[in-house]
Structure 1
């Protein structure tokens, strides 16, 4: 404020000098001389304040410089730590990549070994399958022979004339050779009577059945179980003529054979079912004459497994005829 006053006075007297000449200059000098102690004091005070502010600014500058140096040191340390972490991560990453590469190589080797084993197993399975087909063909022939012989012995038990007995005996001699191999497959099946043969078969764990429908099955529903109520043989009592379901009592490979006959230009599809899952199917289409279709499967079963035949679909009015329809199954081994 004092400086402003001095400046104003100087400006005023400068104006006076320019207007009044030397007289104004004299007046200015007299005014300064009269007030000089106050001006000097104000100027010194202001100068001290400026020096204090400069000293404080210098201290602030020193503090900021020190802080900057500290931050630079921290930055350098952080950079060193970061670089070290990056190097550690790179080493760890390289190690993990090596482990994964080795694991992939091991899996590839294991996969190749498993493929080789599966290929070998497939070849063995094909060979076994071919052998089973040959055995199945022979066993089916033997089963047909058993059915024929069972029929002969039933007639014999009911009573036959002497001439018919002689004819049956002659036929029996002709069958002896074909029955020899059957006896190996179904041991100890006696020719004395059907009931005695059945008892001995049960004792030796022989399992075989064959059945046909009691009557024509008219317009069956989709998913309906085909009931073969007319049972010809049931060694082991494993087939139910009421439910139409065969229940396994021994673990092993079983043979199942079923034939469906339809008449007129209709079609019907049936499937062989194991525990609710279809494992085989046949479709027969009739014409002006009756038509039949058959299928045979080898199935591995465990104790308690159930097998039956059910309808998959058919045309409207399609009936299952009883004469050419049958369901057969037996334990192979």
Structure 2
């Protein structure tokens, strides 16, 4: 019974020692082997008094070693705990800094997302504008194609017109050349301002002394003869008047020595006129003139009642 009480007292001492170490009251240096031995000796003296067996001493030694080992492990555990606390503090500091960085990054990310949304909106607007521009370009291409077609057609027409213009200009030049080569032949004449001419006993050639026009100088007022300068077709006309009453009035047109036209009129009243005209084919050098037969007369004055005209229609 006493052994059990002593063993219980020893266990209580060991428990108190461990409790003091955990609470910081004792350190590993405060409890020495001497103190433990003194406690054991105290217990030993008591056990000697109570006749405790030697095995208890071995158990007590083992218990002592266990206590020391636990205290060392406890001291190591505390050191590790302090290191862990420091590491945890450092990790918390890094975590706080990381959270701050994450907050900044989230803010930047939000700003970037807003910028991306704005850019997407602008891109959509640009795409719409590009589509509209492409549509306008297509319309302009169509209009340009139409204009090119019209321009091509206009150029073709212009080419045709230019060709026709060239042909017309060539024709005009040819006509000008022909006209330049063709002699200018035309005359218009009045007989006289003296009144009655005739009657005479023989046929006479009428000499028209009043020259209105005489292009080419083809009519001679001295001889009363028209001379053809070129071979061609010529037009001639004349008008005569007689002042006598109840008389025949005749005028003949001659081609060379051949009478080709006769104008005759017989009137009871005086101052009656007669006209005639024809086209003759003449060779170069042929002559044409008017002849007043014997016994007939003509009348002319400032009113130009007796006239003679002629011109070249075209060369042959």
**Smaller-chain TM-score range?**
0.3 to 0.5
Indicate the structure (1 or 2) with the bigger Cα radius of gyration.
Answer: 2
Higher relative CO (CA 8 A, sep ≥ 6), structure 1 or 2? 2
- Greater share of helix: 1
Q: TM-score, normalised by structure 1?
A: 0.37
TM-score between both structures, scaled by the size of structure 2: 0.39
Which protein has the bigger strand share? 2
